[in-house]
């Protein structure tokens, strides 16, 4: 009968629901009655325009056409990872305040952290990664803007990873890091190593020399993003790399007298709510340094007890 058929289908549906996940995307206006107009106005005032459009209005921003990282794909390269076991053991009031590596589920406690930086008077940026099998995980990216400087960025790193027990880093840097800083006699690289050592980190010094030409760098990165087995496969923790991913998606290409170049022209514009420095190409240069170091100079990791054969 129809009623028995209905009961049978309802029973089957209940079984399916046990393992089903409901997924939907909404923008802020779907919760207007709960959040209120003031919340939206405050977010529009406080957030950079691109973040407001993506995080609040839930707009999917398209990458620039034929960009420097044109093969970067949200579906292929981005991932989410939380240590829910740790988070669930916290008091409710603590969860929203937790901002350190204990909430990250993608950390391998047996491997050192890999870091690289970009150095600038207005903004200093940093990327943190690990190599796991043939995957280059970009675990997190960070920045500070003036009046905070490079030393304070490294202190932020030390604070965030204070609970990472291994306390070892591989620090990749190129020739741009060995000049003296504008505020003291130490070079950028010396500043980074000095602060890390002060906070108890063992630092593997991994100097890679002069930066690669942009066309060569683009070729390596493009091939890796497309899955070329000669290179480590790049992946990105979505929540911990918000500004890095925006910057990479928006990085274009230009041709000048030196040939094929990453378009860094936006760096000349002053920091502003409409064009914040954290969304420009500064931070992408830090990621490039980490990528080149891990793929082209893997032997420099060996002093951390890691063999080059692990990567090539």
Q: What is the pLDDT of residues 285-311, one digit of tens each?
A: 999 999 999 999 988 776 554 543 333
Rg (CA), the chain: 22
pLDDT number for residue 155 = 98
Query: Reduced to 3 states, what is the DSSP secondary structure of residue 45?
Result: helix
| H or E element that contains 207 | strand 202-207
- 181: pLDDT confidence band, cut at 50, 70 and 90? low
66-115: pLDDT as tens digits: 899 999 999 999 999 887 666 666 655 554 557 899 999 999 999 999 99
pLDDT at 117 over 70: yes
Dig out the tokens for 78 from the structure.
């981005």
Query: Reduced to 3 states, what is the DSSP secondary structure of residue 168?
Result: strand
pLDDT number for residue 3 = 77
């Amino acid at each position: 009968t129809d009623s028995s058929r209905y009961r049978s289908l309802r029973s089957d549906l209940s079984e399916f629901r046990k393992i089903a996940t409901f997924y939907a995307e909404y923008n802020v206006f779907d919760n207007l009655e709960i959040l209120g107009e003031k919340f939206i106005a405050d977010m529009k005032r406080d957030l950079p325009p691109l973040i407001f459009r993506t995080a609040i209005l839930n707009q999917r921003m398209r990458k620039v056409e034929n960009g420097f990282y044109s093969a970067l794909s949200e579906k292929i390269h981005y991932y989410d990872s939380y240590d829910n076991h740790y988070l669930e053991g916290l008091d409710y009031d603590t969860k929203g305040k937790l901002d350190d590596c204990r909430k990250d589920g993608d950390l391998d406690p047996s491997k050192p952290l890999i870091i690289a930086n970009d150095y600038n008077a207005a903004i200093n940026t940093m990327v943190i990664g690990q190599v796991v099998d043939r995957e280059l995980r970009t675990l997190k990216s960070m920045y500070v803007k003036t009046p905070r400087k490079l030393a304070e960025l490294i202190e932020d790193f030390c604070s965030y990873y204070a609970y990472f027990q291994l306390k070892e880093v591989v620090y990749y840097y190129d020739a741009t890091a060995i000049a003296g800083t504008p505020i003291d006699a130490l070079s950028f690289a010396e500043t980074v190593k000095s602060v890390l050592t002060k906070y108890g980190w063992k630092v593997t010094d991994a100097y890679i020399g002069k930066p690669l030409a942009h066309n060569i760098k683009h070729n390596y990165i493009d091939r890796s993003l497309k899955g070329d087995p000669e290179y480590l496969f790049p992946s990105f923790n979505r929540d911990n790399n918000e500004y890095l991913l925006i910057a990479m998606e928006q990085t274009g290409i230009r041709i000048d007298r030196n040939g094929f170049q990453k378009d860094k022209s936006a760096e000349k514009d002053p920091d502003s709510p409409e064009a914040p420095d954290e969304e420009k190409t500064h931070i992408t240069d830090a990621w490039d340094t980490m990528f080149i170091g891990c793929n082209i100079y893997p032997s420099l990791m060996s002093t951390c007890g890691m063999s080059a054969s692990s990567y090539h």
